[in-house]
Chains A and B, each alone.
Chain A
């Protein structure tokens, strides 16, 4: 591995004496030939070219079209413009409108259902959520470089979660709405950060140190809850689960240290960080989250470096750790036994999964109806088992399609991050997708008894401020990556002087 000081060699700089023929169509060329008053009209031209104003496809297409020699080889100006347009197109508008309708009707039904206990609060909440959703899906993309489709799908998922929670547990529903609003702020911050940040070293180091610091908090201040000691009670915000937020640190650490031409030794900080997090989580007995961290580290490692032997080594180590965990922890043994045959202990260990299965099957294809059924019988129904509650109330078809929404979200994330120019942003996107995807799979498969239960929540649907905040922030990262790609495309199409081939 080269370690000596690099020599810098500078190549010749070619002086361009003539403009390449395509430059006749370049934007700058246009402004020069437009009129004698080059400065003045140049300014005007430039102001029309500012991508912040490129909200209309037609306007952008016109700009691009004015340059002859453009639409070549089957790529129309409209298509070019569609890469940089800010105004959301029809599918996104459809999704946003359907979400708004869904939330409105759902919350009205929720209000009608719970009128004995909380009053007409839920109707008031419509006025909060629906505008937020519409704003972030339809209007915000015009000002902030982000991906409108992911925003719309995320809003829909959060909307489903909120409607369900408001029906079965109105107090929690209201708190969820508050968390939703706050998390949107977190998402915007993350989006801006990733779009404009160029140097990640400082940020990553800070996040890693802060992550470990926060992760250790429950060991010192936390209380035991359900066999895991992974939450802390904060004075204002209530209970707070740091392992969710540290996911963001992990994503950044993995992306930074696995990207861009590194040797194994240089990758070590990320692996060490991951290892330390795993250790702390094991101490906290939060084995589900530990499994998520481990699997995503493994995935990002493989994607980044593709070294099969090392990946296999990691996998074998993980399996070994799982077996050890099974031997060491009694509650893991119980969980596996209950996964195999929950009916052997229907009122004790198997109660949760049995009630979940009964709830899902009682829903039938189209659900028992919002507010019907008895979801409260499932322990943690607002949290880990929200999927079972949704299947009960909305039906199995809805549940299956909900999983399809998650899958589409992940697919779009990976596709967008594949467009990045640098491996760091690519790995940020992949890491986010891995974390969200693995978590969703683990909890859904646990609820339907495909794999043993682990104590993780469903992203976007579960009640829990820290869970929602961390998921939205990760989506913010994805928006940032998409925004970067959009910025680069704008450069390529507009600022670089038109399209040269």
Chain B
């Protein structure tokens, strides 16, 4: 054991061990370099845009901040000659895009003015542009951003939203994965920021579309349905007798009325809790968890264009009643409205998950376009046939089921309603959800409507969704 310590060292072996030592040290250096490259590549953009970064504010002294426009060119924010940030002249438009555009002081950290400050403040200007600016003596100006949202649609949504209620509406073009509208209520007026700051309880600065985590309620049955279609066999023979309650463990899952015997499609259309509770017992938390994970639950969304909080589906060992409640979107399941809209888009795209885009064009001060940053590649998260089947199920919801109020006259709408219970107190209404899309590829719009404490999804969220989709089709966005 103390072999070599008898006092005899071989120089040859010392040299060999020194090689080992230098190999290990170089390995440490390689590890450092690798971690450096990795963390800068993945998180670099976020860190630059972090509100604690003093360079952003510093740069404003030298560079004129660029404009922020919507997809039709309507100016939403610009820097005036006084050096201050000004917003659209119409208060309605200002308020309806307030959280998306944000403010330039970093109070709304996810707003475009802060999150994309690297473009607006000219961090990405090339050497050639700088030389040209220096030569012509022009004031340095940052890039202007043309967003994918439509201020007109956003204003319309704000008008149509039930007054006095809070919530979020997301409209997307599922072919291009562009976000056409992200409206979060309550809203604030960027001209009068102090009023919003003085009322933190309202949470007007928060973008509920991307940062609001709510129990999805029955809209989560889409996920459970996908899981059943993927993992269970003999679904054509599936029949379930809904008696209004389904005992699970020590509790029972209840339904407002007994639906009688149903097959899978009618259970989905009627949003029958007991059927899905029974399905969940058959599937188990692991299979549902797998499907949820594939569809983006528990995933750290590192989208290029916007910050979206992570949705969560609990994957620790659930008791049977937890499992049952989770499968119908209650319990500890949480999702953002944007994520639910993304799920709708995925089904519309036959299983292809695309990263949502907020930036339509980046226009340099000289007028030319800059290349948009790369987004993650599209990936297939559910099979084509499963998505097709889900589409039929969702069409059935709107045609025969709980979502009839979302139907359009000339277009086929596929969707799912949801009423997420949030309290044991019967006087507190459930959150009203509607998630759906227009199946016609000529009008590729997906929508997600969430009305906090809005009551029944089918009764209150679906009509709003219909109006919104109608408007989008009319505007030919």
Contact = CB atoms under 8 A, between A and B. Distances in A.
Query: Touching in the complex, A and B, CB below 8 A?
Result: yes
Interface of A: 1, 259-264, 266-267, 299, 302-307, 309-310, 346, 354-355, 357-358, 360-362, 364, 368, 373-374, 377, 396, 399-400, 403-404, 406-407, 410-411, 414, 417-418, 423, 426-427, 430, 433-434, 437-438, 440-441, 444-445, 448-450
B55 to A, nearest CB: 5
B96 to A, nearest CB: 31
Interface of B: 1-9, 11, 13-15, 17-22, 25-26, 28-29, 31-33, 35-37, 39-40, 43-45, 47-48, 50, 52-55, 58, 123
Contact of A418 (B18, B33, B54): B18
B54 A307 contact: no
Contacts of B29: 403-404, 406-407, 437, 440-441
B52 A418 contact: no
Contact of B44 (A361, A368, A403, A430): A361
The 9 closest A-B pairs by CB, nearest first: A361-B47, A361-B44, A414-B22, A358-B53, A437-B25, A303-B17, A407-B29, A263-B7, A264-B5
Given A303-B21, A307-B1, A407-B25, 7 more contacts: A262-B7, A306-B17, A354-B52, A357-B47, A400-B37, A403-B32, A433-B21
A307 B35 CA distance: 32
B5 A426 contact: no
A187 B8 CA distance: 33
Contacts of A267: 5
B14 A304 contact: yes
A355 B48 CA distance: 10
A1 B9 contact: no
A182 B4 CA distance: 42
B115 to A, nearest CB: 14
Given A400-B36, A441-B29, A418 B58 contact: no
A374 B58 CA distance: 8
A450 B43 contact: no
Contacts of A406: 29
A357 to B, nearest CB: 5
A374 B33 contact: no
Given A346-B52, A434-B21, A448 B36 contact: yes
A358 B28 CA distance: 24
A361 B44 CA distance: 5
A373 B21 CA distance: 39
Contact of A364 (B20, B25, B123): B123
Nearest to B28: A441
A357 B50 CA distance: 10
- Which among B15, B26, B32, B44 has the highest number of chain A CB atoms within 10 Å? B32
Contacts of B32: 403, 441, 444-445, 448, 450
A433 B6 CA distance: 27
A364 B126 CA distance: 12
Nearest to B3: A307
A448 B52 contact: no
Contact of B15 (A360, A418, A438, A441): A418
A407 B26 contact: yes
Contacts of B48: 358, 361-362
A446 B26 CA distance: 17
A368 B56 CA distance: 12
Contacts of A373: 55, 58
Nearest to B62: A372
A374 B50 CA distance: 15
Contacts of B33: 400, 403-404
25 contacts: A261-B7, A263-B6, A266-B7, A303-B17, A304-B14, A307-B3, A346-B52, A354-B50, A358-B52, A361-B40, A361-B44, A364-B123, A368-B55, A400-B36, A404-B29, A411-B22, A411-B26, A414-B19, A418-B15, A423-B14, A426-B14, A430-B21, A440-B29, A441-B29, A445-B35
Nearest to B127: A366
Contacts of A358: 47-48, 50, 52-53, 55
Given A407-B29, A418-B18, A423 B36 contact: no
B4 A307 contact: yes
Nearest to B26: A407
Nearest to B35: A450
Contacts of A445: 28, 32, 35
A305 to B, nearest CB: 5
B22 A305 contact: no
B11 A423 contact: yes
A65 to B, nearest CB: 32
A427 B9 CA distance: 12
B52 A355 contact: yes
A438 B22 CA distance: 11
Contacts of A433: 21-22, 25
B11 A307 contact: no
A450 to B, nearest CB: 5
A374 B31 CA distance: 28
Nearest to A399: B36
B39 A426 contact: no
- Which among A262, A361, A377 has the highest number of chain B CB atoms within 10 Å? A361
Contact of B7 (A1, A411, A438): A1
Contacts of B28: 437, 441, 445
B5 A307 contact: yes
Contacts of A449: 39
A358 to B, nearest CB: 4
A266 B55 CA distance: 58
